[in-house]
């Protein structure tokens, strides 16, 4: 990002102008004072303070600058709270504001797209890969809970009917949630089928699972588990 010129009655005023226009926190602002300004004598010869400033060239700085450009073009006022974990090489970004549903989109598709693009921007200038996670009002945790409830409900139906059930297309992240939720289930297994963006999860009964399930729910001793597919995602 190139430097931009900002002015103010004092240097602090010029800095505040830069923070407002660039929409970043003070720790992500890089600036140089070009003119401290002067009050002049009785107002004669007064001149404003001037600085040149830009967002710091860092993972969180580049992410915030990119996102603010996007939101500015959408005429949206969004607060960005970012936290970079140096040890784990991860960047967590939380977006706050009004009408955030627009940025989430249907089943989080818009949020996923923003996260993908932000990741490209962040990793463009880094030697080590940085994992970017973009979230809005704890949406991802709420979505994960919804998917886990769905997985358990579908598994219950498969156990009763002994017939596989095909779920709607999901992205890799959501498919992994379904797989992880049911990977230790004795009576069903999961697999992924199809091509992106229509790749989906299929929940199927394990061989002998119907008999085992009936015995379990009739008070009999559970039968041993059979070796079947692990249900791991094949991305």
Residue 227 has pLDDT above 60, yes or no: no
Structural domain harbouring 204: 142-217
Question: The CATH number of the domain where 176 resides is what?
Answer: 3.30.1370.50
Number of domains in the chain: 3
Residues 11 and 76 in one domain: no
How much is the pLDDT for 125?
Answer: 76
| Nearest CA-CA partner of 91 in 148, 134, 39, 145 | 134
Average pLDDT rounded to a whole number, residues 217-222: 38
- Global confidence as pTM: 0.64
Question: The CATH number of the domain where 112 resides is what?
Answer: 3.30.300.20
Average pLDDT rounded to a whole number, residues 7-17: 88
Q: What is the pLDDT of residues 33-86, one digit of tens each?
A: 888 888 777 667 788 888 888 877 788 888 988 998 899 899 999 999 889 898
How much is the pLDDT for 105?
Answer: 92
Residues 90 and 72 in one domain: yes
Residues 80 and 41 in one domain: no
Residue 232 has pLDDT above 60, yes or no: no
How many percent of the chain have pLDDT more than 90? 48
Question: Which of 90, 111, 137 is the last residue before a domain boundary?
Answer: 137
How much is the pLDDT for 201?
Answer: 97
What span, in angstroms and rounded, lies between the C-alpha atoms of 104 and 144? 14
Residues 90 and 107 in one domain: yes
Residues 172 and 133 in one domain: no
Residue 145 has pLDDT above 50, yes or no: yes
Residues 131 and 147 in one domain: no
Band of pLDDT at residue 233, cut at 50, 70 and 90: very low
């Amino acid at each position: 990002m190139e430097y931009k010129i900002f002015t103010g009655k004092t240097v602090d005023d010029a800095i505040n102008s830069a923070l407002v226009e660039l929409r970043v926190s003070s720790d992500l602002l890089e600036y140089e004072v070009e003119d401290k300004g002067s009050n002049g004598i009785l107002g004669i010869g007064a001149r404003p303070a001037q600085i040149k400033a830009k967002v710091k060239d860092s993972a969180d700085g580049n992410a915030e600058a990119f996102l603010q450009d996007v939101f500015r073009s959408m005429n949206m006022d969004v607060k960005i709270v970012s936290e970079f974990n140096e040890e784990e090489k991860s960047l967590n970004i939380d977006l706050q504001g009004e009408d955030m549903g627009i940025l989430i989109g249907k089943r989080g598709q818009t949020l996923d797209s923003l996260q993908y693009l932000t990741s490209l921007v962040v990793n463009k200038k880094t030697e080590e890969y940085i994992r970017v996670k973009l979230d809005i009002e704890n949406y991802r945790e709420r979505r994960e809970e919804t998917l886990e409830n769905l997985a358990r409900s579908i598994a219950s139906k498969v156990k009763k009917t002994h017939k596989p059930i095909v779920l709607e297309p999901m992205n890799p992240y959501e498919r992994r949630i379904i797989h992880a939720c049911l990977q230790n289930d004795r009576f069903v297994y999961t697999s992924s089928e199809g091509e992106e963006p229509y790749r989906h999860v299929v929940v199927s009964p394990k061989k002998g699972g119907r008999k085992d399930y009936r015995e379990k729910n009739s008070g009999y001793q559970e039968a041993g588990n059979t070796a079947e597919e692990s249900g791991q995602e094949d991305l």
